[in-house]
Amino acid sequence: MALAYIITEQRRTKIKQIKSSLVVLVKGAEQKYPNLPLKNYGIPLMVRRENRVQIVFPRLTQNGDVEYIYSWHDLKDVQAIAPISKTNDPKLTTIKELAPIIKEHWQIEPEMSALEQQYSKINNLANLVSTSDVYSVQIDTYDRALKEVEKLLSKAEQLQKIYVRLIREALIGVQVAEYNPDSLQVSQMAFDSQYQRLKQEYQTMKDVAHAYSQLLRESRSQEEEE
């Protein structure tokens, strides 16, 4: 009974560590998937009750495109890596720096989809308002909102390209370093300043779009009250 309790607690502790880890080491990943630039290092996504862990491995295609491999592994084969652990392994250093960028990259697609839906809704309202004798005076408000969402979508597309370029350059760099270690510059990743600038611009424009959305809601509420 005591042994079963200890095993259960060890399992819970390990799962907790994996869930809180930015990156993990996966035994056998390199053998399962050839040409992994970061070898056995991956990003944990979720843990199932049957002791299965879903891991994401970034990889480059033969054409140089970035792709993500979503793979399930046994809990016993997955080892959490402490964020403060120091290492001279350039692959571990790279995955630690890439993990937050990759997670941000994953968020862009649903955000762009939501923006496209918002644009479609505002555009439909603008077309409807333009046919109204009462509400046509508000058409400028809708036109401005459409322009803001258009600019935000454009900025999101630019940011998405920057994410891909950052990830690609880091994955290429870590492979080049296997032949020329002096060429690796993980701590000064390419396009970092451009990425930070676009990220800030994108957030600012999201705030503007939210303000316009709030304005439209308030405008409709006032119309209903009248």
State the residue range of the domain holding 106. 90-225
pLDDT of 172 reads: 86
pTM of the predicted model as reported, rounded to 2 decimal places: 0.76
Residues 127 and 49 reside in one and the same domain? no
Using only the alpha carbons of the chain, give its radius of gyration: 24
Residues 118 and 207 reside in one and the same domain? yes
Q: Tell me: the pLDDT tens digits for 181-220? A: 555 454 444 456 666 776 777 777 667 666 655 655 555 5
pLDDT of 194 reads: 63
Mean pLDDT of the chain: 81
Residue 85 placed within a domain: no
Residues 104 and 203 reside in one and the same domain? yes
Residue 64 makes CB contacts below 8 A (sequence gap 6+) with: 168, 172
pLDDT of 213 reads: 56
Q: For residues 132 and 182, is the Cβ–Cβ distance under 8 A?
A: no
Angle between helices 90-130 and 139-176 (to 10 degrees): 160
Residues 210 and 128 reside in one and the same domain? yes
Residue 53 placed within a domain: yes
pLDDT of 86 reads: 67
Q: Which of 62, 80, 98 is the last residue of a domain?
A: 80
Residue 209 placed within a domain: yes
Percentage of residues of the chain with pLDDT beyond 70: 80
Q: Which of 59, 80, 101 is the last residue of a domain?
A: 80
In which element (H, E) is residue 180 found? none
**Pick from 61, 74, 64: nearest CA to 32:** 74
Distance in angstroms (rounded) separating the CA atoms of residues 34 and 29:
9
Residue 160 placed within a domain: yes
pLDDT of 85 reads: 64
Residues 72 and 95 reside in one and the same domain? no
Residue 17 placed within a domain: yes
pLDDT of 219 reads: 53
Q: Which of 80, 115, 139 is the last residue of a domain?
A: 80
> Apex CA 181: angle with CA 179 and CA 185, to 5°?
125
pLDDT of 73 reads: 96
Q: Tell me: the pLDDT tens digits for 144-179? A: 888 888 888 888 888 888 888 888 888 888 887 776
Q: Tell me: the pLDDT tens digits for 55-108? A: 999 999 888 889 999 999 999 999 999 877 667 788 898 898 889 889 989 988
**Pick from 34, 60, 36, 58: nearest CA to 45:** 58
Percentage of residues of the chain with pLDDT beyond 90: 27
Residue 40 placed within a domain: yes
Q: Is the pLDDT of residue 36 over 80?
A: yes
Domains of the chain: total:
2
